[in-house]
């Protein structure tokens, strides 16, 4: 179940990062970007790569938060132990 949820967040985040990459670099030349008044000192392809992974991480965080907020109370309060090994007070015992 968790593998499926991770894919529910990774794939849309990947697609959002692709779209952000296209939009941002349609208007900004990577060779003209600066950090603290200094050029980045990376190749054009390096800047594209780093930016893509930054966009992917931010989109993944947003998708993960959406998946977390979508969980039902039963899923949140579910006991993670095997039914035969559940301690006292664990739901479903």
Q: Residue 92 has what pLDDT?
A: 59
Residues of the chain with pLDDT under 50: none
What is the rounded distance in angstroms from the CA atom of residue 93 to the CA atom of residue 82?
10
**Is the CB of residue 86 less than 8 Å from the CB of residue 79?**
yes
Spans of all domains in the chain:
1-29+42-71
Closest CA to 18 of 48, 40, 47, 62: 48
The pTM (predicted TM-score) of the whole model is: 0.76
Q: Residue 26 has what pLDDT?
A: 94
Q: What percent of the chain has pLDDT over 70?
A: 95
């Amino acid at each position: 179940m968790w593998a499926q949820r991770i894919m529910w967040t990774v794939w849309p985040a990947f697609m959002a990062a692709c779209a952000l990459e296209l939009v941002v670099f349609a208007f900004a030349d990577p060779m003209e970007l600066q950090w603290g008044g200094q050029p980045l000192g990376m190749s054009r392809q390096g800047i594209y790569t780093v930016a893509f992974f930054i966009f992917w991480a931010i989109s993944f965080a947003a998708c993960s938060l959406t998946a977390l907020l979508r969980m039902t109370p039963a899923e949140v309060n579910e006991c993670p132990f095997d039914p035969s090994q559940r301690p006292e007070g664990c739901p479903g015992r």
